[in-house]
Amino acid sequence: MKFDFRQLTSHFQLYGNFVVAVPYGTGHINDTFQVTFDQGGTLLHYIIQRVNTNVFKAPEELMDNFLRVTRHIGAKIRDERAVNPATRRRTLEVVNSIYGKPYWRDPAGNFFRCYVFVENARSYDILETKAQAYQAAAAFSNFQADLADLPQRLNETIPDFHNTPSRLANLEKAAKEDKLGRLKSVSREFDFIMARGKECGVLIDLQKEGELVERVTHNDTKLNNVLIDDLTGSGCCVIDLDTVMPGLPHYDFGDMVRTGTSPAAEDETDLGKVTMRFPMYEALLRGYLSGAGGFLNATEKSLLPFSGKLITLEIGIRFLTDYLEGDVYFKIRRPDHNLDRCRTQLKLVASIEEQYDAMRKLADELA
Ligand code: ATP
Ligand code: MG
Ligand code: MG
C-alpha cells in the first residue's frame, strides 16, 4: 500500500522538512516505516506505523495503554539520567498529531501513529545464543519491574487473553461440535491435553486466592521486540507495545520459554527437532530474575518453570481448537498447518515435563 508520507507526516508534530520514508523492520502485524526529517541541517529519524485495526479493534484504548506505559518508564529514565547522564536505557516516545492526539486517522480510516526512532540499536529476528536469551529476558523483566508501580489498571484490550481454563473450555466445545469430523484423527493430541486439564487453572486459581498478583505484561516477548544497544550489546528498549495489558508476569516468562528454548520452528513437522534446551531455559531464567527478582514474591518465583509448561500447553490448545473449528483464526498455508503447530507445542510440553525436576531445582536455587 502506498501512502503520501509528506502529506501524512504533516499531521504529526514533526518539525523541519520531510526528506524520505522507507519501509522498516520485519514486523508481521503493523506496517512500519522510517521517515527522515531535515531539522536545520540535522537529519532526524522517526517511525510511522499504520496500526493493523483488523487485529486491534480498539486502537484508541491501545494507545492509551501505550502512552501510560511509555510516560511512566520515560519519567524513571529521566530521573536516572539526572544521576547518570551516560545511561543508554530508553523507551518509545510518542509524537502526537497536530490535533493533540497520539494518533491520526486518515479519511480512509487508516490509523497512524508516530514515535521517535531509537538510534544506535537494532532488533534481531532469530534467537540463537544464550547471551541473546539472557538479554531479551532481562529487558522484558526490567520492563515489568518499571511498571510494577504503575498507578491504575491498564485497559484489558484483549479480554481473557491468557485464561487457560476458558481456552480449554473452547477446545471441549469445538470437540463436541466436531464440525469437520476431524476429532477422530486427533484423539492422541486431544487426550494429551485433557490429561493435563487440571493444571490449566493453577495460575488463575492462585491469583483468585491472592497468592499471585496481577501486574503488567507485554504479551509479545519475542527477541525482535527488544532493541539491542549497538555499543553495549544489552537490551536497551522494549518495543511493540500493542498487547501490553494487565496480567500475570508468568505469561511473559512462560511465552519466552515456549518461543526461546526450542530450536525448531513453531510449525516444524519433524518432531524429533522439538526439544526444550536446558541451557536456553537457564539463560532465560537468569536474565528474567535479574530484573524481576526484586518484585516477585516467593510463590511467583516458584511458579516460573510451571509457566513455561502452561503457556506452551495453552497455545497447543488454541491450535487444536482452531484445527477442529476449520482454521478460522490462525492463517494456514497447508491443510494440517494448525495440527502441525499443535503437535510442536505438545512435544515441547512433553520435553519440559521430562526436565521438570531440573528446571524447578534451578529456579529454587536462583530464587
Ligand atoms: P510484530 O510482528 O512483532 O508484532 P509489529 O508489526 O507490531 O511487529 P514493531 O515490532 O512495532 O511491529 O516494529 C517493527 C520493527 O521496526 C521492530 O522489530 C524494530 O526493528 C523496528 N522499530 C520499531 N520501532 C522502532 C523505534 N522506535 N526505533 C527503532 N526501530 C524500531
Ligand atoms: Mg514486533
Ligand atoms: Mg507487534
ipTM beyond 0.85? yes
Which residues sit opposite 167 in a β-bridge? none
What is the predicted pLDDT for the residue at 66?
Answer: 97
Residue 43 — very low, low, confident or very high, per pLDDT cuts 50/70/90? very high
**295 has pLDDT over 90:** yes
Looking at the structure, tell me whether residues 157 and 267 fall in a common domain. yes
Looking at the structure, tell me whether residues 53 and 194 fall in a common domain. no
In a domain, 278, yes or no: yes
What is the predicted pLDDT for the residue at 254?
Answer: 98
In a domain, 125, yes or no: no
Which residues sit opposite 35 in a β-bridge? 21, 46
Three-class SS state of 205: helix
93 lines ligand 1 (CB under 6 A): no
Ligand (nearest to CA of 113): 1
Last-in-domain residue among 85, 119, 153: 119
When pLDDT is averaged across residues 313-323 and rounded to a whole number, the result is 98
What is the predicted pLDDT for the residue at 249?
Answer: 96
Q: For 89-134, what is each residue's pLDDT tens digit? A: 999 999 999 999 999 999 999 999 999 999 999 999 888 899 999 9
25 lines ligand 1 (CB under 6 A): yes
What is the predicted pLDDT for the residue at 127?
Answer: 87
Could you tell me if 117 and 270 are in contact, meaning their C-beta atoms sit under 8 angstroms apart? no
CA–CA separation, 314 vs 303, rounded Å?
Answer: 16
CA 75 to chain centre: 23
Name the residue with the closest Cα to ligand 1, atom 5: 27
Last-in-domain residue among 62, 91, 119: 119
Looking at the structure, tell me whether residues 20 and 155 fall in a common domain. no
Residue 92 CA: which ligand 1 atom is closest?
Answer: 27
**Separation of CA 229 and ligand 1 centre (Å):** 15
In a domain, 42, yes or no: yes
CA–CA separation, 176 vs 325, rounded Å?
Answer: 11
- Which of 177, 135, 155 lies closest to 69 in space, CA to CA? 155
What is the longest distance spanned by two Cα atoms in the chain?
A: 68
The domain spanning residue 159 has which CATH number? Answer: 3.90.1200.10
What is the predicted pLDDT for the residue at 27?
Answer: 87
Looking at the structure, tell me whether residues 256 and 342 fall in a common domain. yes
Looking at the structure, tell me whether residues 52 and 153 fall in a common domain. no
Looking at the structure, tell me whether residues 198 and 115 fall in a common domain. no
CA–CA separation, 331 vs 87, rounded Å?
Answer: 42
In a domain, 124, yes or no: no
In the predicted model, what is the mean pLDDT of the chain?
96
Counting Cα atoms < 13 Å in the Cβ hemisphere of 200 gives 23
Looking at the structure, tell me whether residues 78 and 147 fall in a common domain. no
Which domain, by its residues, includes 313?
130-366
Three-class SS state of 348: helix
**1 has pLDDT over 80:** no
What is the predicted pLDDT for the residue at 28?
Answer: 87
In a domain, 115, yes or no: yes
Looking at the structure, tell me whether residues 200 and 101 fall in a common domain. no
Residue 121 CA: which ligand 1 atom is closest?
Answer: 29
Residue 122 CA: which ligand 1 atom is closest?
Answer: 20
In a domain, 15, yes or no: yes
Last-in-domain residue among 60, 90, 119: 119
The structural domain count of the chain equals 2
Q: Residues whose CB is under 5 A from ligand 2 (ion)?
A: 27, 225, 240
**Separation of CA 159 and ligand 1 centre (Å):** 24
Looking at the structure, tell me whether residues 141 and 227 fall in a common domain. yes
Looking at the structure, tell me whether residues 95 and 182 fall in a common domain. no
Looking at the structure, tell me whether residues 175 and 76 fall in a common domain. no
Q: For 245-291, what is each residue's pLDDT tens digit? A: 999 999 999 999 999 999 999 999 999 999 999 999 999 999 999 99
The domain spanning residue 70 has which CATH number? Answer: 3.30.200.20
Residue 39 — very low, low, confident or very high, per pLDDT cuts 50/70/90? very high
What is the predicted pLDDT for the residue at 278?
Answer: 98
Could you tell me if 193 and 317 are in contact, meaning their C-beta atoms sit under 8 angstroms apart? yes
In a domain, 189, yes or no: yes
Pocket-testing residue among 54, 73, 227, 244, ligand 1, by greatest number of atoms within 8 A of Cβ: 227
Looking at the structure, tell me whether residues 168 and 109 fall in a common domain. no
* Percentage of the residues of the chain whose pLDDT score is greater than 90: 94
Residue 48 — very low, low, confident or very high, per pLDDT cuts 50/70/90? very high
In a domain, 172, yes or no: yes
**Separation of CA 298 and ligand 3 centre (Å):** 31
What is the predicted pLDDT for the residue at 239?
Answer: 98
When pLDDT is averaged across residues 212-225 and rounded to a whole number, the result is 94
Q: For 131-177, what is each residue's pLDDT tens digit? A: 999 999 999 999 999 999 999 999 999 988 999 999 999 999 999 99
What is the predicted pLDDT for the residue at 178?
Answer: 98
